[in-house]
Amino acid sequence: MNRRTLLGGLAAGGLAVARRANAQTTGGMAVLTYHRFHPGVSTSATTVSTPVFATQMAWLASNHVTVAPLRSSLALAHGTAGVSTTVAITADDGWRSVYTEMFPILRQHNFHATLFINPPAIGQGNAYLTWPMITEMLKSGLVDVQPHTQTHPNFNTERARLTPAAFQAYLDQEIAGSRGAITSRLGLPADLLAWPFGIHDAQLEAAAQKAGCIAAYALGSSAIMPGSPDFALPRYQVYETDNQARFAWLVAGNPRQHPKKASS
């Protein structure tokens, strides 16, 4: 069954149809991107409330969607793994609510997630994760920690502000610094980067490679498929307002326009 049929099935109604479609779809890996979580009411576009996240994870479990470690996206992109419909879960920026709200639900379902962090922010104030929280999550085997640069810059702004040589040095330090901090603190390879704000271009991608990264993740609303570029691997931002139909559409890795937008 192709994606068009899956989409049609979901629109026609119901999880029973979705379940059958998922089992037969040969999709790619849909990488879901979260930021903050809130136990009550969402306070920003990219904050997902805990009940909504719990419902989304329960939906994945009840539909037998495979949640895979993000690293497995590399074999898929390189064409050395079979193409099946899988999902990877990521959370950016190292917010403390990843520990208090997201992690217990991951545990409940035994789902893996990758955290992209800015190491200098860890342990700063009450909003961010602490290193002991990160260590505890790592020990569960359900969490991986990867770099998101040191200070979460907007590289377009910095490029306009700095000389070309200064920008290159800044870029190198932002990427290598965050890799080094994670490796020295946690002993992890820290070789998968997430681009701040999803901003990347050829210069940035070359810098990531030079710093020792083997892949980098952006945004872009499509699934990772064989041939997806190593340093611009797409992810989907998940929003609090995503209804069940849109969430199912994300999971299916559908690259076309969202049905809700198409019908409006």
92 or 101: whose CB is closer to Zn ion?
Answer: 92
State which residue has the least CB distance to Zn ion.
92
Closest Cα partner for 118 from 91, 143, 141?
91
Q: Does 174 bind Zn ion (CB under 5 A)?
A: no
Listed in sequence order, the residues at least 6 apart from 149 whose beta carbon sits closer than 8 Å to its beta carbon are 118, 174, 175, 177, 178, 193, 196
93 or 191: whose CB is closer to Zn ion?
Answer: 93
143 or 218: whose CB is closer to Zn ion?
Answer: 218
Listed in sequence order, the residues at least 6 apart from 119 whose beta carbon sits closer than 8 Å to its beta carbon are 147, 150, 177, 178, 181, 182, 185
To Zn ion, the closest distance from the beta carbon of 12 in angstroms equals 37
Token pair 């990488």 in the structure block, residue: 31
Listed in sequence order, the residues at least 6 apart from 135 whose beta carbon sits closer than 8 Å to its beta carbon are 186
17 or 199: whose CB is closer to Zn ion?
Answer: 199
Tell me how many residues contact Zn ion (CB under 5 A): 2
Report the Cα 40 to chain-centroid distance in Å: 23
To Zn ion, the closest distance from the beta carbon of 23 in angstroms equals 34
CB 170 within 8 A of CB 196: no
To Zn ion, the closest distance from the beta carbon of 196 in angstroms equals 5
Binding pattern for the stretch 91-120 against Zn ion, x by CB under 5 A and - elsewhere:
-xx---------------------------
To Zn ion, the closest distance from the beta carbon of 182 in angstroms equals 15
92 or 191: whose CB is closer to Zn ion?
Answer: 92
Report the Cα 216 to chain-centroid distance in Å: 11
To Zn ion, the closest distance from the beta carbon of 35 in angstroms equals 7
105 or 193: whose CB is closer to Zn ion?
Answer: 193
Tokens (6 digits) for 183? 């490796």
Q: Which residues within the stretch 65-94 sit at the binding site for Zn ion (CB under 5 A)?
A: 92-93
Closest Cα partner for 27 from 35, 18, 36?
18
To Zn ion, the closest distance from the beta carbon of 148 in angstroms equals 6
Residue 197 CB neighbour total at 10 angstroms: 14
92 or 144: whose CB is closer to Zn ion?
Answer: 92
To Zn ion, the closest distance from the beta carbon of 237 in angstroms equals 10
Residues near Zn ion, by CB under 5 A: 92-93
